[in-house]
Amino acid sequence: MFEVLMPAALSNPLVAQEVGAKLTLHKLWETPDADAALKELAPRIRGILAGAPGHRRVGGEFLGQFPNLEIVSSFGVGYDHIDAKWAAAHGVVVTNTPDVLNEEVADTAMGLLLSTLRQLPQAERYLRAGKWQQANFPLSDSLQGRTMGILGLGRIGKAIARRAEAFGVKIAYHGRSRQPDVPYPYYATVLEMAAAVDILMVIAPGGPSTKHLVDAAVLRALGPRGVLINVARGSLVDEDALVAALQKGEIMSAGLDVFAHEPQVPQALLDMDHVVLLPHVGSASHRTRDAMAHLVAENMLSYAAGKGPLTPVAETPWPRLEKAD
């Protein structure tokens, strides 16, 4: 029997419905004594359904409670909330939900960019406040003639690039290495790229290796006409440095869908009217979230059926390694 633990309710009920229809699913949050339930269930659990980043930390200490654990299926393309290195060392495969949200996040990124540059939310507030009757809304900046530097030219980064090119925007990129067959200029460091562009689009993975990759120096290099758009993880941007850069006019504006300590947003950002802030809605459409939920369930069901996971993460490629002693 393949028994699966769902430590907390996921935002999309399809995961529990699809997995629960074929496997034994334990919903930990429904038990009156979670600690007692964990102690009793731990030896039998072979799979865990994990929520999106920000849901709960799934570290080695938590995973280590399950001696027969084989797979963690996670909701979301980012998985920095899961200790994938621990999982790899202990023969546990981790899966995420790539590809199914690429287009939705890219759409959101471009919408956020246009909203930030053209001040569309501010213009709507202006109209709703009745101010149009007294005077026209002030002129905004423009997307035309700009160059976008993409930090993280992965699947979503490429989808953003295609959209930006359709708007006539020039593209450059930075990543761990130059990609073959990519026509855009490559910069070896974020700092060098920031100095060469006036839009910095952040869409790289989160985690310790990318923490504060966009720091005060990068923001200064972006310059006073510079616009920062972050649809990746709040951890990639030094939030204090960003606030300071916006307050000093070192960059023009920012459009943010993610923050360092979600759902908390710094009051200094909330007080600024020249930035656009969204509550982490990059992939938040019914269509895309249902597709993500289905992939979470299918990863678990495929593995339980002996067919292997569909989308294992890089740290835990299939076939999985033997468990460490």
The residues that are catalytic are 233, 262, 280
Assess contact for 281 and 108: CB atoms under 8 A. yes
Q: Order of strands across the sheet with 71-74?
A: 24-27, 3-6, 45-50, 71-74, 93-95
Q: What is the 3-state secondary structure (H, E, C) of the chain?
A: CCEEEECCCCCCCHHHHHHHCCCEEEEHHHCCCHHHHHHHHHHHEEEEEECCCCCCCECHHHHCCCCCCCEEEECCCCCCCECHHHHHHCCCEEECCCCCCHHHHHHHHHHHHHHHHHCHHHHHHHHHCCHHHCCCCCCCCCCCCCEEEEECCCHHHHHHHHHHHHCCCEEEEECCCCCCCCCCCECCCHHHHHHHCCEEEECCCCCHHHCCCECHHHHHHHCCCCEEEECCCHHHECHHHHHHHHHHCCCCEEEECCCCECCECCHHHHCCCCCEECCCCCCCCHHHHHHHHHHHHHHHHHHHCCCCCCCECCCCCCCCCCCCC
What is the signed CA dihedral for 87, 93, 94, 96, rounded to 10 degrees?
160
